[in-house]
Structures are given as structure tokens and as C-alpha cells.
Structure 1
Amino acid sequence: MMMTKREIKKLLRRYTSGAASRSERDAVESWYTSVEYDNRLQVQEYEQAKESVWNNINPHQRSRRRFLRYAGIFIMLCSISLLYYSIYRDNTVDTLAETSEITPGGNRAVLVLGSKDSVNLSQLTTGDIIRHEGIKIEKLSDGTISYETDSTTNDIASINKLIVPRGGQYRIVLSDGSIVSINSESTIEFPSQFTGNERRIKMLGEGYFEVAKNKNKPFIVESKGQKVTVLGTKFNIKAYPNDTHTLTTLLEGKVEVSFSKGNAILLPGDQSIFDGKNIKILSAKTASEISWKDELFVFDSEPLESIMQKIARWYDVDIVFDNRELEKKQFTGTISKHNQIGQVLNLLEMTGKVKFTIRNKTIYIQKNN
């Protein structure tokens, strides 16, 4: 995470006013000897900053530091943002000491076939095939589960269920060729094959859909009191049980979102927000809405409450806020979901807004005083 120009100036002001901690003073003075120019500061601002630091270094240390500078001992150039990371990394390691038992999520899911058999998909290896009621189910090399109509198929379709737990994520190719990515703590119900004049499934949680085109057989997703109808398109639905709103975000094509009182048409870039009674349509932040399927956390001025919900589902942890005001604080940034939880929380701590403590797989969030 890079420091902004404002954050750089704030750190320098803390240094020159005498409010900086010992580790902050050491880092700034090391920066003075090792960094020639940071392009987030104008040249004049940079020179003023250098002069300010020089004037605050103890006189008996100046000759030694000047010697070190010209002797070339500090030869590795680095930005203030990395130095800032080293400052706060030292301050947060102890508070995040219990992260060893918390690991990032991965491809984890259980497939329930009909009303009886269940398969732990993590235990299947690439190329494994399951045959069930005329359907061939295969695990592909990327971990995806693919449904394919067998040559011996009949018109009987059973309802299957894909259950993705906390700390899980999975992708499935349905029998019509539609691809569904399922996020943590989510469930999708679908027929083993689509018979009749429609393709209807049910979902609770979050899923990203790439629907195979079929003008004669609409694809319908039911979720928490709403119904999304499409012919072929790409969209995301977020409908967790405890969420107050159901979000439908459209990437390509056109969809109809209907509910008991009416319906709404979404065009690419639209997002519908359904509160159980009414729908409103806004412009979507599509990159952050679908980043989860690409194994990224992307936050775009996102409230900490929403961020921590995502972290809780992916790392299978519980969250406790010290006060509700913290839930509203907004953050912007991008980080891989494969990072250890300590790295994710450290980056949030580096903003100076919050402080985290982990005990027994519970993250406690406090204001950083």
C-alpha cells in the first residue's frame, strides 16, 4: 500500500513537531540518507522536507549521517511508503500474533446429488468423473466442476445443491454451459439438467453468472424475494441471509429484476438494490463488486463493516467492533485474497484509522488513538 502525498506530509509534520515515535524518527532520518526523490512531492516541497529533517537531526549525529550518505552505505533506494510499512509492521506484529491458525480460503465445497448422496469436492482429483442420473460430472484441471449430459441421458432431472462454506469458493459449469462462480458461505440449487421451457435455479449468498445464450429458454435466478431473468449475459448477485439489501450488478447484456410489486430492467453498468419491498437502480462499481471471483479484495471507498464481512467469510473468522462509528470508516485498496490475514489487516492498520487484535479466531477492531 502506497502512502499518499497527504500522508507523507503528515508524517514529516509529526517528525518536525517532535510528536513522532522513536521508530518514526529513525525511519524518517534513514529516508533522508537513502532516498533522493519521491515523485509524489513537488521538487520544492521535497527540498523543504529534506531541510526540515536535517535541521531536526541532533548536531552530533549530523557528521556521522553525512559520512554515511556519501560513503554509499545506504545504497538501496526505497520510497517513503515502504519505510512507513516497516514502521507500522513492527507495531502490529504483536497484536496479530494469533494468525497462524487462520488461513486464506480456497476451492472448498460440497455437492449434494438429489436427496441422498453428497460429495466433498476437495477430495476429488483432476479428471475424476461422477455419473448420476444421466449426467457426467467431471472435475477439471482448474478445479471447476463440469456438468455434461451423458449419451445415455433421459428426461429426468434431480435437484442438486452446491454448498460453499466459509473459507470457500467454487466454480461450476451447468449442463447448459452456463458458468457460475459461488462465493464463500453461499448455496446454489439447480437441476442436473434443464428440461422444459426455462432454466431456473435458486441461490442464497453471492454468485457470478456467465449465462449461455438460449433465446428459447430463459435463465432465471431466484434469491431472497427477487427473480432475475436473462437470455444470456454476465451478472453478479449478492443476497446473503443477514444482508439488508440484495444487490444485482450487470456486466453484459440485459436482465430483468422482478419482485412482488413490479420489475426493473438493468443495462450494463447498472446495479439494482432490493430491500425486500422496493428496488432502486444505481451506477455500479463493477470492479469491486466482482473482484472476489478473481481472488482479489478490491475496496473502493467501502465501509469497514462491509470489508470485514468479506474478510470474515473468506478467512472463517468472527468480527467484533469496539463501536459502531468504526463500521462507517471507508477504505480504498486492492490486495490478493491469497495473502495471510495478518498482511491484509496490517495494510488496513497502516491508514492510522483502526487497530486490530486477534484472539481465538475473533478479530477485535478498535480506533487507533
Structure 2
Amino acid sequence: MTKKLKTDFLSLLKNEKFIRLAKQSDDSSKLSEHLRTRYPDDADEIQNAIQFVQVNMQEQKRLAPDDFNEILSSVLFHSKSTKREKRRKLIVSYSWKAAVVFFVMAFGTLFILKEADDPIKKFAQSTSERTDRSMIVLSDGTKHLLEHDDSSIEYDSVQAEVIVRKDEKEEERIENKEVSDNRKLNQIIVPYGQKQTITLCDGSVVQLNAGSSLTFPAKFSGKNREVYLKGEGYFDVQKNEKLPFVVKTDQMDVKVLGTSFNVAAYDDENTVSTVLVEGKVEVSRKGSVFFKDKQVIAPGQGYFYNADADNAVIRSVEVENYTSWVNGVFIFREKPLSEIVKRLTKYYNCSIHIEGEKLASTQVTGKLDISGNIDDAMQYLSKTIEGRYDKSPEDIYVLRTDL
């Protein structure tokens, strides 16, 4: 089915998703043909934009920064005149090629990569180190290691401190020193094999799964309550219609007023998802020209974006299958064994090898208690596949079957 983008040449060059597709494509003509077929009304805009990106990659180093003012004027002039002139004539103009090079490559942070200037994202990326213990990064940059797994971490913005509890018993109080920056960004980093629960300053509760991190202000200010997630988290958000709660990830943003939902956005998994338990959320794709920018999902629905297929779908789901990890249970229904094992390596911080591609692709349904030890989980899983497991001297688990 063909569609209308309702976009133009310059809008495509400002779009992060489009630029990434054009730059990473091994066959630009194939990409151009695919998009031209899908969006015939925008065929010329798409083809010329792809060609310009390819030219940019070749010409980028030849551009003199002193030409900026002249180049910018050229960009604006040609943008306004695109309805009157054919793009093909512009392609042969070196000055226009240079304009695009400078505009897209040198000043991409203004448009294409504006997300990189997001302070909460920059903070998260600057403190992405991993340890074998959970870590709190405080407002002044101080790093504090937690003694226990599955602790309760509470932020008290009034007293400017962090309270850590284990099994409802207070373990310690950490001073969260004032800094000049009003945002006072903090971060919780959870390694593989652990979970942690955070109560934010507004009373919202976030349960972080293994191999995840959450970046947030010690005290919310401005028009939104914004946090940045890497990995997986279950959110129970305090309602405040005047201050929407926004969960940011690399691929999408989830905006809510007050609700319970799960977000999974692991770097090593191709699918990013949001599953709604109750309330209502609005999901926004990052850098979306080819898809609807914002979509609303209802309780019992999930939003799934697959990076490989570059496709997003909304469908009804069994919510428990996506949220049971909060209660120490991993439910899977007709999932490839390879996907199940990938999750187990996160939950237990271990290495698991599957012997043979056929076994790795085997569809498996079951329920695992992930609050126990890894050997119990491996025992159950090996029985489910009618196989067995071994453990090497290097502590690598191997799943195999004799069939």
C-alpha cells in the first residue's frame, strides 16, 4: 500500500532516522527504489535526499568552515524555491552540495541529532560504567555502591538525602549534596544479576530489572517529569495532570499522567516495547518521518518497535507475560530458546551456550522462578526442552539435547 509522507527535501535532511538509513545503506539505489515504491508521491524528494546524503559522505572534508554564512543562505534560498525548481538541477551544483554537507554534517546537532543535546541523556551516557554491584550516582557526581540486591532506594528532596532500605529495614542514609545545576541529575545503575526499586521525589516507584539504568533529577522542575531509561523498568507513576511523566529511551518516549506500565529498551535487543497495565500512555517514536509520530495505547495493549524491520505495531497482550519479572517470575509463551536464554543471562549474570541452531530456534512455553539460583532455572529449562545441561570449568552453562 502506498502512502503520502507530507514532507519535503529539507525535512528529510533534518530527520535522524532517514539520515541513518541513507548513510548505513550498502545499496543506495535499492533503498531509494524501496522508499520510492512505498511513497510514490514523494519519490523525487526521497531520491534526491538520498543522493545528497551520499554526496555529503564524500564531500564532507572538503568544506571550509568560513563559508558558513554563504552556505546557510543557499540552504534557505533553495528550500523556499523547491516547488519551482527540479531537484535534479540542484544536484550538479557544487555550492548546493557543499551547503548540504555543512548543514547536515557540521550542524546536525541543531536538527538531526538534537537528542544528543538532551542534558539527561548526556548525563546518562557520561556515567555508563558497569560494576558487579548496583551504583547510585548522586547530584555532585559522587558514586555510591550498594551492599545488597533488591534494595528499596527512596529520594527525599526536602532533606536532600537518599534512604536505602532492605526488607523494610533502613540500611543507610546518603547525603545528596546541593549543586548549582537546578536539575541535579542522579542515576541508578543495576548490573546483570540484580534488581532495584527506586521511589522518586514525587512518590512514583520504578522497579529496575537486571542490566538497567535510570537517570532522573533529584527534584523535578519544569513542565515535565523526565527520566531516561536504559534496559527495563516497571513504572507506577503518581498522577499529576500539570506535570506529565515522560520516560525517555533511545528509540521512543512514553508520556503519562499517572499509570502503571512496563518499558523494555535493552541495547542488545532489537525490539523496544511498552506494555500498559492501567491508565493511558502516549508513545512517540524518535526521528519519525515515515510513521505516525504519536500513538496512544490502552490497558492490556503493548507497543512494539522492531529496529531491524523498522516497524512499529500495537497489539493486545497478556500483561503478566511482560511484568511478571517484578515478582521474580519469568513467563514465556512460544518464544525461541535463544531469546529465553538471553534474558536468563541478564537475570543471573552468567554465560549460557545453546548447542546447535535447531535447538536455539526451538519454541518454548513455560514459567521460571528467577528468584532462586541459576542451577534450579537451568534444571527446569533442560527438562522443558527434553534435554540436559552441563557446566564447564569456566562456569559456562551448555544446553543440549540428545535428539
Distance 1:144-1:263 versus aligned 2 partners, 3 A rule: farther
Residue of structure 2 in register with 1:271 after alignment: 302
State the SS of the aligned residue for 2:380. Answer: helix
Partner Cα separation in structure 2 for residue 281 and residue 128 of structure 1: 33
Q: CA deviation at 1:355?
A: 2.7
SS in 2 for 1:224: coil
Deviation of 1:325 after TM superposition, in Å, equals 2.2
- Tell me the distance in 1 between the aligned counterparts of 2:283 and 2:140: 30
Deviations 1:217-251 (A, max 9, x none): 01111112211100011000111001111011110
> Structure 1: any 5+ residue segments left out of the alignment?
1-106
1:173 aligns with 2:199: yes
Check whether the contact 2:206–2:234 (CA below 8 A) recurs between aligned residues: yes
Q: Is the 8 A contact 1:169 1:182 kept in 2?
A: yes
- Please name the residue that 1:294 is paired with: 327
Displacement of 1:361 after TM fit? 2.3
Given that 1:212 and 1:233 are in contact with CA atoms closer than 8 Å, whether structure 2 keeps it comes out as: yes
Q: How does 1:187-202 map to 2 (within 5 A)?
A: 187-202=213-228
Would you say 1:328 and 2:361 are equivalent positions?
A: yes
How do residues 230-269 of structure 1 correspond to structure 2 at under 5 angstroms? 230-259=256-285, 260-261=287-288, 262-269=293-300
**Residue 128 of structure 1, CA deviation:** 10
Query: 1:228 corresponds to which residue?
Result: 254
Aligned match of 2:343 = 310
- Report the RMSD for the aligned CA atoms in angstroms: 3.3
Whether 1:161 aligns to 2:191 is no
Larger radius of gyration: 1
Q: CA deviation at 1:326?
A: 1.8
User: 1 or 2, which has the higher strand percentage?
Assistant: 1
Mapped pair 1:364 → 2:390: no
Distance 1:344 1:272 in 2: 29
The structural deviation recorded for 1:190 is 0.5
1:313 alignment partner, SS class: helix
Give, as a single letter, the amino acid of the residue that structure 2 aligns with 1:114: S
TM-score by length of 2: 0.59
Q: Deviations over 1:7-51 (max 9, x none)?
A: xxxxxxxxxxxxxxxxxxxxxxxxxxxxxxxxxxxxxxxxxxxxx
Comparing 270-279 with 131-140, greater Cα deviation is found at: 131-140
Does the 8 Å contact 1:149/1:193 carry over to 2? no
Percent identity of equivalent pairs = 28
Aligned pairs, number: 261
- CA distance in structure 1 between the aligned counterparts of 2:322 and 2:371, rounded to whole angstroms: 18
TM-score by length of 1: 0.64
**How do 1:1-369 residues align onto structure 2 when only pairs under 5 Å count?**
109-114=134-139, 116-122=141-147, 135-142=160-167, 156-259=182-285, 260-261=287-288, 262-276=293-307, 277-359=310-392, 360-369=394-403
The answer to whether the 8 A contact 2:153-2:199 is kept is no
Specify the code of the residue in structure 2 equivalent to 1:294: N
Identify the structure with bigger relative contact order (alpha carbons < 8 Å, sequence gap 6+). Answer: 1
What is the DSSP-based 3-state SS (H/G/I as helix, E as strand, rest coil) of the residue aligned with 1:122? Answer: coil
Measured at CA, do residues 188 and 225 of structure 1 come closer, stay the same or move farther in structure 2, by a change above 3 Å?
Answer: same
User: How far apart, in 2, do the equivalents of 1:265 and 1:144 lie?
Assistant: 40
**What is the DSSP-based 3-state SS (H/G/I as helix, E as strand, rest coil) of the residue aligned with 1:311?**
helix
Question: How big is each residue's C-alpha offset from its partner over 1:106-135, in whole Å with a ceiling of 9 and x where there is no partner?
Answer: x952101135211112269x9999988952
1:36 maps to: none
Which structure features the higher share of helix residues? 2
- Contact 1:296–1:335, Cα closer than 8 Å, also in 2: yes
Question: Does the CA contact (< 8 Å) of 1:357 and 1:365 recur in 2?
Answer: yes
Structure 2 unaligned runs (5+)? 1-131
